[in-house]
């Protein structure tokens, strides 16, 4: 599976972060490499982050971020 081009990620990034902040979910699950990279804000691998609570520069601390593999992977 191919990762989306950087332009596609950039085009959706602000809207995704805005939606998360507006809805203030208690949990956020990032599925796959692109989502984990955007939400965790760094280059750590999914294997290192998988199912452990992760921090995100985009979440205010009230939302718990978890990362796992995308089901199509």
Q: 13-46 pLDDT, tens per residue? A: 889 889 988 888 888 999 998 998 888 887 888 9
Asked if residues 34 and 3 have their Cβ atoms less than 8 Å apart, the reply is yes
H-helix or E-strand spanning residue 49: helix 46-49
- Residue from 45, 40, 44 nearest 56 by CA: 40
Taking the model in full, what pTM does it have? 0.80
The angle subtended at Cα 39 by Cα 34 and Cα 44, nearest 5°, is 70
Residue in the block written with tokens 């089901």: 71
Give residue 55's pLDDT.
Answer: 79
């Amino acid at each position: 599976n191919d990762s989306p081009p950087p332009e596609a990620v950039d085009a959706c990034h602000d809207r995704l972060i805005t939606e998360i902040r507006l809805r203030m979910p208690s949990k956020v699950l990032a599925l796959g490499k692109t989502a984990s990279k955007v939400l965790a804000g760094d280059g750590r691998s999914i294997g290192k982050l998988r199912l452990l609570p992760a921090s995100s520069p985009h979440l205010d601390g009230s939302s718990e971020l978890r990362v796992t593999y995308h089901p199509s992977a």
